[in-house]
Structure 1
Amino acid sequence: MASASSTSSTTLGILGATVMPHNLYLHSSIVQTRAVKRDPASIRSAIGMSRIDTIASLVIAALINMAILILAAAAFYATGHDQVTQIEDAYRLLAPIVGTGFAAFLFAITLLASGQSSTFTGTVAGQVIMEGFLKMKIPCWQRRFITRALALYPLIRMTSDRSLIGEFANTLPTRLLVWTLFVAISAANLWLVAQTVGLAG
């Protein structure tokens, strides 16, 4: 049986995954972009539509989180497979338990969509926060370069670590190439940021 602290941590994790702080800034920004007349009736209507939008978004997110949790509980924990540590283990276990490989494929697609959604909202929310607090407006393509540069470093380190990947780790020529590209992209990003804030001509 799971301990009370473990159950509480899981519950709080699901709540935190549904109501993320940066999305509060993002939603506020989306509301402000709507063209609304300033008379009481129009404002009341806009508030009602925003309320429906918020409730619908949270309900859909909660249903998706619950579906993933229920599937994991029924397919893994209830069958004694409570030590799933790798996503590959989850895929292999789902096929015989659920009865079809397509279900495991859908589970993987769901996780991919969830990750893409989180990445998108995080990036856009970061833009909103930077524009609101720091008064920095960075074009979309520059923002993509910056966020990808931050993601490239751990990616290159992990794919080059033979203790993690073994014989499939990056070869020396590949490592030299990707590190060169990483340094070049990072330098370009820093220069663009410096130009944006007026530190470089």
Structure 2
Amino acid sequence: MLQSISDSAMQHQAQQTLSGKGGRTGWMVLFGPALIAAVAYVDPGNFATNIEAGSRYGYALLWVVLMSNVMAMLIQAMSARLGLATGKNLAEVIRERFPKPVVWFYWVQAEIVAIATDLAEFLGAALAFNLLFGLSMMQGAILTGIITYAALQLQRFGFRLMEIIIGAMIMAIAGGFFVELFLSHPDQGAMVKGLLLPSFPDSYAVYLATGILGATIMPHVIYLHSALSQNRISTEPSQRNKVMRYYRLDVIIGMTLAGLVNMALLALAAATFHRHGYEEIVSIGESYKMLAPLMGGNMASYIFGFALLLAGLSSSIVGTMSGQILMQGFVRFHIPIGLRRLITMVPAIVVIVLGVSEQKALVASQVILSFGIPFALIPLVKFTADKKLMGNLVNRPLLSVVGVAVCTLIIILNAYVLFYSLFE
């Protein structure tokens, strides 16, 4: 299991906060899980789908990013609620309550989704090393593996340190894109229209919207967030509602930050590429090369490249942590973190060796992710609506209904993508 994040100092400070003696900043100890989860919402897969959406359709699909982010808030709050109420993560609850064959099926499909996730993260970081420093994709992939493995070793010094490091990374990514968006002078009227008026310009836009959904609502962090919340602090049942209020605020802050980054990235592509008629600029590599001439300086490309690098490295760390949760939660099997890091590098290396377009691989990986969402979301909604399991943190009926509606919508979109892929 993940190294315990409920060390004595944090436990003490959290208890002081809950008793009203934590001071002005005492509440901050309860924050952090959602920032870890938020990293997965700004990974290289998001770069790929948002750049393609912005360059092809301008601001028209901004509403998809907004709605996906609202759904993500709901789902991640449910995940945190499950971990807090049960002291177990989603994979462990599934193992305890589902038949063994179903549990093994869940584990296999979750690992496939995790592989698709790691593929996007590794390719993104390797591409960033290639664009910024001229390394080959293979060299970049190997360097990514080394850096992420070294970062994962920091867990031995306490999980709070990992939260601070990853939080700093996502803040740097956000800062870079907000600066670039400001310099690109986006059409504010068109942005508002794209946010508030849902539309699909053509059938491919639906396929791309499902990719955005898959890149935004990440199945592996549904499992991870419940693990980050389980046993984070020891509380009496009477205190759990108060803790959940902090966790809910944590989710709102983390997911809002991730959503703003995704909106800024799509709007940047619309304001630079689409506005100047470069509607076929759909790859990350092309974006890096074209930002400098379109925005009047190399700094725009460098900011983009370093944001991509931070996104790839941080999300790869989170992806490996999620993989450990899946394996240990579903089948109670543990492998050394270094071995898992090595195994999950293989798909990305195969893609690099075969010369597959990184853009096609990235977008396809996000579509695979969207197919994994219902398998995580259905049991999450089921368990959090169970009064015997959840106690005083059970979902309100309206929340469960909304969860079912979100799951139904995702299944319908996935069915459309399957039809589109087979018959278009």
- The correspondence of residues 1-201 of structure 1 with structure 2, limited to 5 A, is 2=57, 3-41=201-239, 43-158=240-355
Q: Structure 1 residues 69 and 59, CA, compared in 2 at 3 Å: closer, same or farther? A: same
- The offset of 1:102, in angstroms, is 0.4
Matched AA of 2:228: I
- The offset of 1:86, in angstroms, is 4.1
In structure 2, C-alpha distance between the alignment counterparts of 1:79 and 1:48, rounded to whole Å: 46
Residue by residue, what CA displacement relative to the aligned partner does 1:9-52 show, whole Å, maximum 9, x if unpaired?
444433332221111100000000402212312x1222112112
The normalised TM-score by structure 2 is: 0.35
Structure 2: stretches of 5+ with no match in the other structure: 1-55, 58-200, 358-424
Q: Structure 1 residues 147 and 31, CA, compared in 2 at 3 Å: closer, same or farther? A: same
Matched AA of 2:335: I
Structure 2 SS opposite 1:81: coil
- The offset of 1:4, in angstroms, is 4.0
Q: 1:36, 1:46 within 8 Å by CA — same for their partners in 2?
A: no
Q: Structure 1 residues 63 and 22, CA, compared in 2 at 3 Å: closer, same or farther? A: same
In structure 2, C-alpha distance between the alignment counterparts of 1:88 and 1:28, rounded to whole Å: 35
State the identity as a percent: 36
In structure 2, C-alpha distance between the alignment counterparts of 1:46 and 1:57, rounded to whole Å: 16
Q: Structure 1 residues 73 and 153, CA, compared in 2 at 3 Å: closer, same or farther? A: same
Q: 1:18, 1:58 within 8 Å by CA — same for their partners in 2?
A: no
In structure 2, C-alpha distance between the alignment counterparts of 1:63 and 1:85, rounded to whole Å: 20
Q: 1:14, 1:65 within 8 Å by CA — same for their partners in 2?
A: no
- Between structure 1 and structure 2, the one with the greater Rg is 1
Matched AA of 1:90: S
Worse-matched range after superposition: 88-97 or 65-74: 88-97
In structure 2, C-alpha distance between the alignment counterparts of 1:12 and 1:149, rounded to whole Å: 26
Q: Structure 1 residues 11 and 156, CA, compared in 2 at 3 Å: closer, same or farther? A: closer
- How many residues align structurally? 159
- The offset of 1:85, in angstroms, is 4.4
Q: Structure 1 residues 146 and 88, CA, compared in 2 at 3 Å: closer, same or farther? A: closer
Matched AA of 1:98: M
Structure 1: stretches of 5+ with no match in the other structure: 165-201
Matched AA of 1:124: M
- The offset of 1:152, in angstroms, is 2.8
In structure 1, C-alpha distance between the alignment counterparts of 2:334 and 2:318, rounded to whole Å: 17
Partner of 2:360: none
Structure 1 SS opposite 2:293: helix
In structure 2, C-alpha distance between the alignment counterparts of 1:16 and 1:148, rounded to whole Å: 21
Q: Structure 1 residues 17 and 149, CA, compared in 2 at 3 Å: closer, same or farther? A: closer
- The offset of 1:76, in angstroms, is 0.2
- The offset of 1:81, in angstroms, is 0.6
In structure 1, C-alpha distance between the alignment counterparts of 2:350 and 2:327, rounded to whole Å: 23
Matched AA of 2:269: A
Worse-matched range after superposition: 46-55 or 108-117: 108-117
Cα RMSD, aligned residues only: 2.4
Q: 1:95, 1:103 within 8 Å by CA — same for their partners in 2?
A: yes
In structure 2, C-alpha distance between the alignment counterparts of 1:157 and 1:8, rounded to whole Å: 29
Structure 2 SS opposite 1:29: helix
Partner of 1:182: none
